[in-house]
Structure 1
């Protein structure tokens, strides 16, 4: 049991870290080191945060033992609401109100999921599937299938701004979200409770953990992070529409599993998500620089995941 925890949280973390270095070196050689030029690194700093923040939103529910299938739909709704407000309000308060509204919508969606799962005891995969479909319909009603585009420059700073002239604002936002998850999961009683619940919900209950409260907080947090991702998404592309982010859901699960988050719950670290998303981003950017199809990059992500899992299992059996 002792080695299982080390293998699942630390061994795979080391593997992904080594993989990131290896992939960066190999792709750097193949691209004649264009991959590591300042302009490309800044570009990756703008691209990486969206998937990374959504993956953090997925991480919490996975740690409790069930995925949140609604995170992308929640992000889409938050983005549409925020975009609608920022376009229709006038005055200095338009941008702050639009931002706060997005965060509130995310929290409310997370609270709804939490209520259905924690209070009504509906399995998370079923509850969040229902929420996903419902929200998709609501977004289509609000937008009528149209794109909401054209935002104020102050609003676009969230997804397109730079600090000190070269540090992408979205990357800074991601680092803040990452720090929040690291502190919550490793430095608080809540983090311990999440791991206990995900490992064995019956044992955690008899250990004095309020399982309902833990699940509730986890899905509210997931909704909040989804709303943050929404703000990054729509301000990066200067538009909001119902179909944005449709391919991101499975990608967040891929990033979490590759980063060492156990789909069964209870095991994983937030830093693993960062390493995993970095690997995916390096591969995607490198393939783009080499002129390869983006679909080939997607296929390679699946191969990387399978290879890491097989290697991890082999190391575990060897140590056992």
Structure 2
């Protein structure tokens, strides 16, 4: 009996060490769900509440998937919100032109705007990839600059106003529920998440980007075309951001330059919280998905407490990000502090 217990405990420890970020997130989700069950059960545990969460988180969830890919390569994409807003504004103008006098859209309109949005996102991502790979601009500066550029274009096109008054058919289609239960936004997120999981786990492309993130020098000497890999990664990130923008367009039934302004911090927080190494070479999509769910649960739960102002949410996100980075530092350093200091003997 004792031997069986010891073996089970050893297996659990091995499993925990291999996926400590995932287990940490599962534990945090469980604790928060228990806390909400004790304090706000009737207001939190409702079908409409979970459906609302499932319809809202794909906005920043899709952007987070793109940021994850870029961070695995050792880079980052801070332009996802700019890409999302610029894409949604351009598609809003197109929907305005396609809307008839009676407020209807032609049958091909919704499919057309989705495809065009993905192409636009790919183009914006290609631009980021060129800046990083060909001009060797640090990713954080390249994507921060391009993000400001995209936002500036949005402001110039709209004068800071919201673009609306197009047919509600688009919003009604995207905001619809499959079998009157599962939001379409969630289906879009799941499809993209499965695609990226397959890409990084089951294809050579995934192996290459992990190698690139681990050591760019080794990747180059191994014969990898690092420039092409970086461009492809940022193209995929641009597509994810564009799809997030199209979901925002449906949820708000309008497009504006400053929508989702807090999503940049949230995306970085989600990716780091999900176990992706900020310097590259490590990370799993399962951890990122759990981090997305955790943040949505936290924000929705906090909104159930009227005494807690929504202005504190950004403060909480920043604090959580710093806390996670500190925890990652101590958990990733295998050697105890005393053993590491042995290498630096006293000079006395």
Q: Distance in 1 between matches of 2:78 and 2:333?
A: 32
Which residue matches 1:54? 63
Which residue matches 1:82? 91
The CA deviation at 1:29 is 1.4
Equivalent residue runs for 1:1-320 within 5 Å: 10-90=19-99, 91-157=106-172, 159-291=174-306, 292-316=308-332
* Deviations 1:142-189, CA, capped at 9 Å, x for gaps: 112221113434311454111110211111111111101111111111
Contact kept? 1:65, 1:263, Cα under 8 Å: yes
Q: Distance in 2 between matches of 1:297 and 1:195?
A: 33
Q: Distance in 1 between matches of 2:77 and 2:16?
A: 25
The CA deviation at 1:306 is 4.0
The CA deviation at 1:301 is 3.1
The CA deviation at 1:298 is 3.2
Q: Distance in 1 between matches of 2:193 and 2:134?
A: 28
Question: Unpaired runs of 5+ in structure 1?
Answer: 1-5
The CA deviation at 1:86 is 0.6
Q: TM-score, normalised by structure 2?
A: 0.85
Q: Distance in 2 between matches of 1:237 and 1:95?
A: 16
Contact kept? 1:16, 1:275, Cα under 8 Å: yes
CA RMSD of aligned residues (A): 2.1
Question: Unpaired runs of 5+ in structure 2?
Answer: 1-14, 100-105, 337-348
Q: Which moved more, 1:210-219 or 1:19-28?
A: 19-28
Higher helix proportion: 1
In the alignment of these two chains, the number of paired residues is: 315
User: Residue 289 of structure 1 aligns to a residue in which SS?
Assistant: coil
Q: Distance in 2 between matches of 1:8 and 1:208?
A: 32
Contact kept? 1:79, 1:227, Cα under 8 Å: yes
Q: Distance in 2 between matches of 1:189 and 1:173?
A: 25
Against the structure 1 CA distance between its residues 158 and 32, is the aligned structure 2 distance closer, same or farther, given a 3 Å change threshold? Answer: same
